[in-house]
Amino acid sequence: MSSKAAFAAFAALVLAVAAAGSVCAQTPPLRDPMRPFEPGVAGAGAQAPRGYRLSAVLISTARRVAVVNGRPYQEGETVDRATLIRIEPKVVHLRKDGEDLVVHLQGDSGS
């Protein structure tokens, strides 16, 4: 390989690395999956019912558990004067004073 061709290849490599670096610098950092979701973030573009935050859901063949306001609950239990009616993979259904409320999992993009 001639010195001109080697220099051109080197220059192309340097430009490619520089371009990749600027793209990476603009990409937001990945979210730590073990870190709890931030309060006040409702999923699927919906506003969470006031006073209720769903941060985790566990569904197995043996049980269904939802973490609402930082505490685990099962279907039928009372969460701050509301009855937990149903637990689904990304939402829970509550009933308070005859009104049905839907609380989405925090950080859920609706997918």
Nearest partner of 107 among 3, 32, 2, 1, judged by Cα: 32
pTM for the model stands at 0.55
How far apart CA 55 and CA 66 sit, in angstroms, is 8
Tens place of pLDDT per residue across the chain (111 aa): 677 777 777 767 766 666 665 555 556 666 666 666 554 444 434 455 678 999 999 999 999 999 999 999 999 999 999 999 999 999 999 999 999 999 999 876 555
Answer yes or no: do 61 and 81 share one domain: yes
- Predicted pLDDT of residue 26: 59
Tell me the C-alpha to C-alpha distance, in Å, between residue 85 and each of 12, 34, 47, 58, 71: 61, 28, 19, 15, 16
Residue span of the structural domain in which 92 resides:
37-111
* Number of domains present in the structure of the chain: 2
45 and 18, same domain (yes or no): no
Q: Residue 39's pLDDT is what?
A: 46
pLDDT reported for residue 45 = 40
108 and 63 part of one domain = yes
